[in-house]
């Protein structure tokens, strides 16, 4: 048998893939996401006030 499979101090006992390196390569763009979220909220507010003014 392979000794690395029986080693209790093994770093990766469950066979998980290695962690992704920390950096800007594939990190999400939180600033852009925040701007899109704010625009979506403003659009919902505008639709709400517009429909309230139109239907009343």
Total count of residues recorded for the chain: 56
18 inside domain: no
Query: CA–CA separation, 40 vs 56, rounded Å?
Result: 24
The pLDDT, as a whole number, for residue 41 is 98
Q: Could you tell me which residue, 11 or 33, shows the higher pLDDT?
A: 33
pTM of the predicted model as reported, rounded to 2 decimal places: 0.49
Total tally of structural domains belonging to the chain: 1
Helix (H) or strand (E) holding 34: helix 30-55
Report the distance separating Cα 39 and Cα 45, nearest Å: 10
Q: Considering the domain boundaries, does residue 20 fall inside one?
A: no
Does residue 39 fall inside a structural domain? Answer: yes
- 12-54, pLDDT tens digit by residue? 677 788 777 665 555 667 888 999 999 999 999 999 999 999 9
pLDDT of residue 1: 47
- 23 in a domain, yes or no? no
Q: What residues make up the domain containing 56?
A: 29-56
Residue that wins the pLDDT comparison between 46 and 2: 46
């Amino acid at each position: 048998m392979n000794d690395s499979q029986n080693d209790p101090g093994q770093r990766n006992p469950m066979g998980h893939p290695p962690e992704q390196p920390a950096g800007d390569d594939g990190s999400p763009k939180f600033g852009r996401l925040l701007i899109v979220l704010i625009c979506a909220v403003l659009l919902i507010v505008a639709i709400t006030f517009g429909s309230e003014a139109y239907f009343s």
